[in-house]
Amino acid sequence: MTLSSTLPAPTAVDAGPRPRRGRIPWPTVLLLAALLAFADGFWLTTTQGAVGAIERAQSPFAAWLRDSALSLPLFALAVLAALAVARRRLRPELRRPRRVVATALLVAAAGSLVGTAELVASAAYDYALQVPQLEAMHAAHITASSPAEVDRPGQCTGLCDQERLTLAADERAARYAAAGVLVTNVVVVGWGVALLGGRLDDGPRRRSPRPA
């Protein structure tokens, strides 16, 4: 009787819910990924319409919706990677202002990498489509012109100069759009964090009751 009376009573620690620190905040990931995808998709569509191939400039609104929806998984992976790095470097709970700001900047940087990669790939694809058009136009011009107007070998004139100028225009547009993507992503992520109440974790966590 004396031994049994001295044993501690069972506490509610074993029966209570345990905190789940490794849970992925899917609403946060999907919201930020959607904002980044459609914001960067706007820059992608604008660049295509400005200096891209003619056949890709048709129906810009539909192209914006299609490209943004297709790039959504890539931005979701970028947001997940940024949150994982932030949790490892800044501790799992992302609620304090400094941690939230640092994590938001990290998410914006990761999204900017994806958006810049899309711009570079789009510029390369536009140039690949524009070269055959330039060659066809140059061939038609050569046919109608005199032999004196034909390009001289070893000199970048005529078709070579047109290709060089087209490539320079595509690269310049991609650089300007990449700068716009970075600024836009910082603003968009900040707006998304404000919608989330200034937190980037998976909401309030339940603490297990302490033993009596």
**Mapped to the 3 state alphabet, what secondary structure does the chain carry?**
CHHHHHCCCCCCCCCCCCCCCCCCCHHHHHHHHHHHHHHHHHHHHHHHHHHCCHHHCCCHHHHHHHHHHHHHHHHHHHHHHHHHHHHHHHCCCCCCHHHHHHHHHHHHHHHHHHHHHHHHHHHHHHHHHHHHHHHHHHHHHHHHCCHHHCCCCCCCCCHHHHHHHHHHHHHHHHHHHHHHHHHHHHHHHHHHHHHCCCCCCCCCCCCCCCCC
Please provide the average confidence, as pLDDT, over all residues in the chain.
81
Q: What is the reported pLDDT for 54? A: 86
Owning domain of residue 85: 24-195
Query: Given a cut of 80, is residue 59 above it in pLDDT?
Result: yes
Q: Which of 202, 42, 36 is nearest to 107 (CA)?
A: 36
Question: Domain for residue 117, yes or no?
Answer: yes
Using pLDDT thresholds of 50, 70 and 90, give the confidence band for residue 38: very high
**Residue 209 resides in a domain:** no
In a domain, 203, yes or no: no
User: How many CB atoms within 10 Å of residue 199?
Assistant: 18
- The reply to whether 179 falls in a domain is yes
Domain assignment present for 105: yes
pLDDT band of 15, cuts 50, 70, 90: very low
Average pLDDT over every residue of 27-44 = 96
Report pLDDT for 99: 84
- Quick one: pLDDT band at residue 158, thresholds 50, 70, 90? confident
Domain count, the chain: 1
Instruction: Say if CB 57 and CB 49 are below 8 A apart.
Output: yes
Query: What is the residue whose two structure tokens read 């919608």?
Result: 195
- The confidence score (pLDDT) of residue 87 equals 84
Cα(31)–Cα(85) distance, integer angstroms = 19
Query: Considering the entire predicted model, what is its pTM?
Result: 0.78
47 close to 192: Cβ distance less than 8 angstroms? no
- Of 130, 139, 137, 136, the C-alpha closest to 164 is 130
Q: Please name the residue that has the structure tokens 């990931």.
A: 29
Residue 145 has pLDDT above 70, yes or no: no
C-alpha closest to that of 177 among 37, 45, 36: 45
Please report whether residue 30 resides in a domain. Answer: yes
181 falls within a domain: yes
Residue 162 is assigned to a structural domain of this protein: yes
How much is the pLDDT for 94? 64
Instruction: Give the Cα separation of 190 and 155 in Å (integer).
Output: 51
Q: Would you tell me how many other CB atoms lie within 10 Å of the CB of residue 185?
A: 28
